[in-house]
Amino acid sequence: MPKRNITNRLNDLSPKEWLKFQKSWFVHNPPPRQQNVLRHPAKFPETLAMEFITFFTKPNQVVFDPMAGTGSTLVAALRTGRHGYGIELNPAYADIARQIIDEERKSLASAAESLHSVLITGDAADIAEIIKIHQIPLIDYMLTSPPYWDMLHARGAATQKVRRKANELDVFYSDDPRDLGNMNDYHEFITRLSQMYVSMQPALRPGAYLTIIVKNVKKGGHIYPLAWDLARSLSDTYTLKDEKIWCQDNQRLAPYGLGNAWVSNTFHHYCLQFRNEWPH
């Protein structure tokens, strides 16, 4: 019986590459960060972003990140031949992102000549208005990693804070009251984060995928299931299709609760996969 020809409408991967990405977990240890992006306390690795963008889009499609930080998603879009648009609240990070994007364009030369890379300084809470004002085209794929609630303010992050302060690096994303990473109330955080993603729905192409990378949060001896609560909250607007577990196996273990209580070393993130199938 002859093999059936399969039309790949989603990406340009081979069947073997497609199958490899379908595994529900993966190990990715980011390469060392460049000096100019060390300031950001939780940078998203371009190498990881490239893998997701390559799977969920084709060349010349539009990739969007509403919380772009220092521009990892936009750099990954350039490297893979996609248009990239992003929003960043912190003006300092937005400036760093633009500098990095300009350097990337120069290194790619003619390969990036026809590609758009637009980083907008603004509040993702105003995402619908920003998309309209800046005439961002219909979005084919959204990839982002929002603040993990107020995790950077947690008592357990004290060692990192001391080390980063000593090197004059940021401990928090910002001191802006609009920054969701500064919000104390967990339920309000989930509500406002969800509203932001919901408000961008009209700007997404029908059938477009969204990948949101998050982590459950430990605070005060409790687990706050951020990934699961966000998935549940967004399921009224988008179809939750799956999850991929991003594991890091090069982190140093700490003796939390040794001899007294169970406290895990958490070295995994949830890559939640949604699809814009409204109405569904």
pLDDT at 232: 97
CA 166 to chain CA centroid, nearest Å? 28
Domain count, the chain: 1
pLDDT at 63: 98
The token duo for 139 is 């979005």
For 126, the domain range is 47-210
Whether 263 is covered by a domain: the verdict is no
Whether 17 is covered by a domain: the verdict is no
Whether 82 is covered by a domain: the verdict is yes
CA 140 to chain CA centroid, nearest Å? 15
Burial of residue 97 (CB within 10 Å: 0-12, 13-18, 19+) is: buried
Whether 250 is covered by a domain: the verdict is no
Q: Are 83 and 60 in contact (CB under 8 A)?
A: yes
Strand order in 83-88's β-sheet?
25-27, 239-247, 268-275, 204-214, 139-144, 62-65, 83-88, 117-121
Whether 92 is covered by a domain: the verdict is yes
Whether 147 is covered by a domain: the verdict is yes
Whether 71 is covered by a domain: the verdict is yes
The CATH number of the domain where 157 resides is what?
3.40.50.150
Whether 275 is covered by a domain: the verdict is no
Cβ neighbours, 10 Å, residue 90? 22
What is the spatial distance between Cα 75 and Cα 60, in angstroms, rounded to a whole number?
14
Query: What is the full per-residue pLDDT of the chain (280 aa) written as tens digits?
Result: 556 677 899 999 999 999 999 999 999 988 775 655 444 445 678 999 999 999 999 999 999 999 999 999 999 999 999 999 999 999 999 999 999 999 999 999 998 899 999 999 999 999 999 999 999 999 999 999 998 776 765 655 544 444 534 444 454 445 766 777 778 899 999 999 999 999 999 999 999 999 999 999 988 888 999 999 999 999 999 999 999 999 998 888 999 889 998 888 999 999 999 999 966 5
